[in-house]
Amino acid sequence: MVLKPPVPGAAVYRLVQYGEHLSPTSEASKFDIEHWRKFTTEFYSESGTMKYSVRNSQFKDVRVFELNTALLPRFYMINFESGVTEMHLTLENPQEYVLPNESHVVECTRANFIYHFNNDVQVTASGMLRVTFNAQLKIELMEFHSSHHNEYLSRSFLLSLAQQSGDAKDTNGKPKMKSSGGEGDLFDLPPSCVNEYGVPIKTMRCLEISEVIFHMRDLISYSLEFNTGAIQSLQKYAEALRNVQNRIVGVNGNFNPPNGKASPNPQNSGNDMNEGGSSIVIKQEGSPAPHSAILHMSDKSPVVGKKESNN
C-alpha cells in the first residue's frame, strides 16, 4: 500500500466542512442526539477535545470550558434547544501547518461562530481559533478563545416591534425611538438570547456541568471502582493522595511522616500498599485538573485515571 503525502490545505477544507455541518438541513436532526453523535464521530477522533473560552462583556473575566467527545453531542444539541436555528463558522485568513507526524494545525487569528435565533436575532462570537488534526484529518483539539461577542437585531424585527407597540411612526414612516432625554414611548426590546458571556443560558449550564465532570472524573472513577458513596469516596481518595504526596516529600526532602516511620526507599516506594492491598503510583505530569494527581492502581484493579493532553 502506497501512502499519499499530506496535502497542504486539506485541514482548512476539512474545517470548512465542519462549519457547514453545524446546521443540519433536517429540522428533526437538530434535536436528535444520535445525529450529533455521528457528527462528533465524523469530525473528532476518539480522544478529541474542544476548549471553549468565553469572555464577560462587562467585567472582562474569562472562563474556559473543556468538552470531550462524550459531552460534545449534548453541547451541540442544547444550542438548538436554546432557540438557535442556525450555526455557522467563518474563517479569516486561516494558516495551515503540516507537522512531521503528518498531523495538521490550522490557526486563525480571527474566526466567528455565528448563531441565528428563532426571533431574528443574530449573535456573533469572535476570537482566535486553533485546531489540531491527526493524520486522518480528525480533530484532536479545537481551541476557540472568544474575545468579544455582538448581538444584532434585524430591521424587520425592529419594525415589527414598533407596530406591536402602537404603530408609532414619525413623518418619514420610521418607528419613533425615545432618546435618553426625549419624550414619547419607546417600544420594549425583548430580553437578550444570551448572557453576559455571549452564551445562551441553557448552553451555559451544560458547559458548567461539563466543567464539574471534567475536574471530578478521577473521583467519580474511584467511586465506581470501589462502589463507595460520594462522601466516603472523597475521604478515601483524599487520604490516598495525602499518603502518596507524603511519600514524595519523604523521598525528595527527607521528610518523615507524622507516624514517625522512615520514608520509603525510592526504589521500593512503588510497592508500598494502601489499605486495600493495591499499590499506588503517583503521576503528576499532564494532570487533568490543576494541583491534582492521578492515581493508578495495580494489576488487580483497572486504571482509575488516565493522562489526557491539555495543550
Cα dihedral 192→194→195→198 (10° resolution): -130
Identify the domain containing residue 105 by its residue range: 10-154
Percent of the chain with pLDDT over 70: 70
Radius of gyration of the chain (CA): 26
How many residues in total does the chain contain? Answer: 311
- Whether residue 94 lies inside any domain: the answer is yes
Q: Which amino acid is at 267?
A: Q
Q: By C-alpha distance, which of 291, 271, 292, 293 is closest to 280?
A: 271
Check whether 297 has a pLDDT greater than 70: no
Among candidate residues 274, 285, 288, the one with its CA nearest the CA of residue 241: 274
Assign 210 to helix, strand or coil: helix
| Residue-level pLDDT at 236 | 79
Average pLDDT over residues 262-286: 41
Give the residue, 247 or 133, on which the prediction is more confident. Answer: 133
At residue 280, φ and ψ (nearest 5 deg) are -120, 130
In a domain, 84, yes or no: yes
Q: What's the CATH code of the domain at 144?
A: 3.10.450.50
In the three-class reduction of DSSP (H, G, I as helix; E, B as strand; rest coil), residue 60 is classed as coil
Predicted confidence (pLDDT) at residue 9 exceeds the cutoff of 70: yes
Cβ pair 49, 141 in contact under 8 A: yes
Q: How far apart are CA 200 and CA 49, in angstroms?
A: 21
Strand 139-153 to strand 44-55: parallel, antiparallel, or no bridges (unpaired)?
parallel
Q: How does DSSP classify residue 22?
A: T
Q: What is the largest CA-CA distance in the chain?
A: 92
Question: β-pairing, 139-153 with 294-296?
Answer: unpaired
- Count structural domains, the chain: 1
Within-domain flag for 298: no
Q: How confident is the model at residue 192 (pLDDT cuts 50, 70, 90)?
A: confident
Task: List the single range of 26-30, 62-66, 263-267, 288-292 with lowest mean pLDDT.
Answer: 288-292
pLDDT, position 174: 57
Is the residue at 50 inside a domain?
yes
Mean pLDDT of the chain: 76
- Strands 121-133 and 104-117 come out as antiparallel
Domain assignment present for residue 45? The answer is: yes
Which one has a higher pLDDT value, 240 or 72? 72
Pick the range with the lowest mean pLDDT from 5-14, 73-82, 160-169: 160-169
- Look at residue 226 and tell me if it is in a domain: no
State residue 165's pLDDT score: 66
What average pLDDT does this structure show over 239-255? 71
CA distance 124 to 194: 11
- Residue 33 falls within a domain, yes or no? yes
Task: Take residue 101 and report the three cell numbers written for it.
Answer: 507526524
Per-residue model confidence (pLDDT) at position 227: 78
The whole-number pLDDT of residue 7 equals 72
Residue in the structure block whose three cell numbers are 469572555: 55
* Residue 133 maps to a domain: yes
Which range (7-21, 147-161, 216-230, 277-291) has the least confidence? 277-291
Q: How far apart are CA 226 and CA 236, in angstroms?
A: 10
Average pLDDT over residues 123-132: 96
Cα separations (Å) of 67 from 49, 70, 138, 211, 262? Answer: 6, 8, 16, 8, 43
Please determine, for residue 293, whether its predicted confidence score (pLDDT) is greater than 50: no
pLDDT of residue 305: 37
pLDDT at 300 over 50: no
**pLDDT computed for residue 164 by the predictor:** 73
Weakest-pLDDT range from 43-57, 112-126, 166-180: 166-180
Q: Which three cell numbers stand for residue 284?
A: 503528576
